[in-house]
Structure 1
Amino acid sequence: MSRTSTIESLLEQWIAAFNSRDLDAHMALYTEDALLFGSVDTLHVGRAVIRTYFARRPPGVHVVSYPMPTVLQLAPDIAATAGHVDFADGDSPMPYRMTWMLVRRAGDWRIAQHHGSPRVGI
């Protein structure tokens, strides 16, 4: 399997876990020491803290569309992604920019750094 399709698989798994609110599956996609800057100003460090962040999101928030982001392969086991994701809270759109720093460990891509911020002026 190519790196890109593996990253595509990670993206598909992330969307499925996020939308189903399956925190175990969701957190399995992050490294133990991952960093997250989400929709709040606080830096979340570590899988347990990131889990708490995602557990607190409103129940109606879901991914509507997250096309395959641009992937920059930095090394065989390190990649950066940048793209746009459209969330919604019920029917209210929430367009975001999203970046991930990915590492491949034991053959699987995992999120080591995640940043999401609202798109404005679109």
Structure 2
Amino acid sequence: MSADVANDPMREVLRRWKAAFDDHRADVMADLFASDALFQGFGPEVISGREAVRGYYEAVPDSRTAHLGDVHSYRIGEELAGGFADVTFRDPTGWAAPVHLSLVLQRECGRWRIRQYHVSRTVADH
């Protein structure tokens, strides 16, 4: 593990998140989240809790992968962190969805978990 990942909770969590997403492991994905996490994915509704997050990821097609771009992070003391990442979700058909991913992280029992997750699709013109 690089020093950047070891010292940066955002990069640490994103590394684990990407590996679980690309391997289509919904249980591992859900375990990255706080038990009462707020989650705004591509769906129109905000969902809450680890079980809802598991259900969301179980519905993602197995062919999709996540490609990480720039990551910007911050820390607030020893227990809170967060940031933004450019992510592009892709599948072999050529489908691609570039997004900004925003995370708020909290350390629970010595492990960083996602407390809030939000994606917003990026568009060329607004």
Normalised by the length of structure 2, the TM-score is: 0.86
Does the 8 Å contact 2:39/2:48 carry over to 1?
Answer: yes
Q: Unpaired segments of 5 or more residues in structure 2?
A: none
Give the count of matched residue pairs: 120
How far off is 1:68 after superposition?
5.3
Q: Is the aligned partner of 1:42 residue 2:45?
A: yes
How far off is 1:50 after superposition?
1.1
For each residue in 1:25-48, what CA deviation from the matched residue of structure 2 results, as whole angstroms up to 9, or x when unmatched?
111110110110000110110000
Structure 2 SS opposite 1:13:
helix
- What residue is the counterpart of 1:119 in the other structure? 122
How far off is 1:7 after superposition?
3.4
Paired residue type of 1:120: V
Aligned sequence identity (%): 26
Paired residue type of 1:34: A
Paired residue type of 1:74: I
Segments of 4+ in structure 1 off by > 3 A? Answer: none
Normalised by the length of structure 1, the TM-score is: 0.89
- What residue is the counterpart of 1:107 in the other structure? 110
Give the distance between the partners of 2:124 and 2:11, measured in 1 at CA: 28
- What residue is the counterpart of 1:98 in the other structure? 101
Alignment of 1:78-97 (within 5 A): 78-90=80-92, 91-97=94-100
Cα pair distance change 1:99/1:48, threshold 3 Å:
same
- What residue is the counterpart of 1:77 in the other structure? 79
Give the distance between the partners of 1:67 and 1:77, measured in 2 at CA: 25
Give the distance between the partners of 1:93 and 1:49, measured in 2 at CA: 24
CA RMSD of aligned residues (A): 1.7
* 1:7 pairs with one of 5, 10, 15: 10
